[in-house]
Structure 1
Amino acid sequence: MRTVLNVIWVVLGGFWLALGYFVAGIIACIFIITIPAGVASFRMARYVLWPFGKTVVPNPRAGAGSAVMNVIWFIIAGWWLAVGHIVTALGQAITIIGLANAWVSLKMIPVTCFPFGKQIVDSAHPF
C-alpha cells in the first residue's frame, strides 16, 4: 500500500516539491555558512519524494545550534517551500484521490519551516 500511495504522491506533486528542496539545497551549498542547511534540504528532498512509510521525530541530541540554523533556514528557503506545500495541497485537494496527499503535504509544513533538531525515520504505521 505504501508503494501505491508514494507513486500517487510523486505523480500528483511530490516530484516538483522534491525538486524545490533540491534547488534550495544547491542554493544553500553555494555559501559556506549555509552548507548544513543544504545537507538538510537534500535529506528532506528524499523524504518529500517518497513520504509514506516515514515519519519525523525530534532529535534528542539537538541543541542551540539547531535553533540558530532553523532561523537561517526559514529566511533562506523555509517560507517559500512552505508556500509550495500549500499550493500543492490546494491542487491535490481538487480530487478525492488527492485528499490524502493534500493532508500529507500540509503535515510536512512544520518540518519544512524548521527542519533542524528533527530526524526522518521509518514509520511503524502500515501506510
Structure 2
Amino acid sequence: MQFWLAAFAVALVVVIGYAGGPPGALVALLAFVIALFLLWARELGFKQAWEKFGLQTLTPPLWKPENLERFKALFADEQKLVKACTIAVALIAVSMLLPRNLVVFIYVAAIALGIFEVYRNNNSTTTQPGSRIN
C-alpha cells in the first residue's frame, strides 16, 4: 500500500504542477521533495535525516538501484508523504491564483517556516544545563 500511496502522491504533484505549466511540474516536484525532507528533519534533525537516508552518498544517475533503495526510506511514513503532497499542491494552487513575485515570497516563507520549525523542535527536546527537572 505504501508504494501505491507514494506513486499517487508523486503523480498528483506532477499533474497539478503541469496544470501550472511545464515548469510548474518541476517546481511542484521540488516543493514536494523539500517539504518531505523538512518533515523528516523536523522529527530527526537535519544531520540525522541527511545521514539516515544516505543522501551524502548519492551517485549519478539518480535512478540507479542503490539510490532507489535510499529513496524508499523517505516514503516510509504515509502521514509525512500526504503532508508533503498537500504542501506541494497548495503551493501550486497559490501560484495559479497570485502574481509570480508574491508566489516566490510565499515559497521562501514556507521554506523558512519549515526550517524554523526544525530548529525549534530540536531545541525544545534538548535539556539546558542547570535547568530544573520537573
- Using the size of structure 1 for normalisation, the TM-score is 0.33
Structure with greater helix percent? 2
TM-score, normalization: structure 2? 0.32
Over alpha carbons, which structure has the higher Rg? 2
